[in-house]
Amino acid sequence: MAGTVEIHGLTKRFGDRTVLENLDLSIEPGEFVALLGRSGSGKSTLLRVLAGLDSEIDGEAVVRGTVSVAFQQPRLLPWRKVWRNVVLGLGKQSDDRRLALRALEEVRLVDHADDWPRTLSGGEAQRLSLARALVREPDLLLLDEPFGALDALTRIAMQRLVEDLWQRHRPSVLLVTHDVDEALLLADRVLVLDEGRIVSVHALGHPRPRRLADHMDVRTKVLADLGVTEDALA
């Protein structure tokens, strides 16, 4: 089966600084992959390459199909109503509003369709960002720390929503997060990036919805890959 993502020997340099080094990665259709790594390890750079935002690379990075991205900051246009923000990336289409309402329905935001973005809470703004990503019906959904700025409870609700949307639409997902537990709850596969290389890959086989208690062994390993020891957690 052809992967949604096929990366071979990807190297990315900024000047004489190598940020991604000879990276190989494929993501299957419908697979949910989480990418962990310290700040500055190259996670966002990888996502930008896959999003087509940076094409100055060595090696090969192929994405098959449509790509959508949601960032930590929702990047809304404050002078456009909520529903118009959803269809911003689509270009002019006659059934814009219908598509927007359908996507807003899915993220339970349809009641806010005609509100201004500034009236939304942080969690609502992030749900709008998800609706905007979904409306393109992506084959690949790229999420760059999408819940990083949210409080703990909102974050949990968002994780459930993403899982639910993924189950329904089945895009391939590459989720960048610094939250190990989030990765263990959501992903089929967890990758750890360090200094531009994938230093470990952990497959997670447990059925969903997941319980963290089932993953304590992997959790310890992933934390060790990130340089966090049990002593540091005690």
* Residues forming the site for Mg ion (CB under 5 A): 43-44
The size of the interface with ligand ADP (CB under 6 A), counted in residues, is 10
Q: Which of residues 36-55 bind ligand ADP (CB under 6 A)?
A: 37, 39-45
Question: In the complex, what is the shortest distance from the CB of residue 48 to ligand ADP, in angstroms, rounded to a whole number?
Answer: 8
Nearer to ligand ADP, 41 or 68 (CB): 41
| 14 touches ligand ADP by CB under 6 A | yes
The sign one gets for the Cα dihedral 176, 182, 183, 186 is negative
Nearer to ligand ADP, 43 or 112 (CB): 43
State the Cα–Cα distance between residues 33 and 183, nearest whole angstrom.
Answer: 8
Q: Which residue of the chain is nearest Mg ion when measured via CB?
A: 44
Q: How many separate helices (H) and strands (E) can be counted in the chain?
A: 8, 9
Determine the 3-state secondary structure of 201 from DSSP. strand
Nearer to ligand ADP, 22 or 167 (CB): 22
Partner from Mg ion, ligand ADP, none binding residue 19, C-beta < 5-8 Å depending on class? ligand ADP
Nearer to ligand ADP, 39 or 94 (CB): 39
State the Cα–Cα distance between residues 92 and 114, nearest whole angstrom.
Answer: 18
Among candidates 205, 72, 187, 59, which has minimal Cα distance to 129? 72
Q: Which of residues 66-85 bind ligand ADP (CB under 6 A)?
A: none
Using N-to-C axis directions, what is the helix angle for 122-134 and 152-169, rounded to 10°? 10
From the list 32-40, 76-84, 133-141, 202-210, the region that binds ligand ADP by CB under 6 A is: 32-40
Nearer to ligand ADP, 42 or 74 (CB): 42
What single string gives the DSSP state of each residue in 15-74? TTEEEEEEEEEEE-TT-EEEEEE-TTSSHHHHHHHHTTS----EEEEEE-S-EEEE-SS-
Interface contacts to ligand ADP, rule CB under 6 A: 14, 19, 37, 39-45
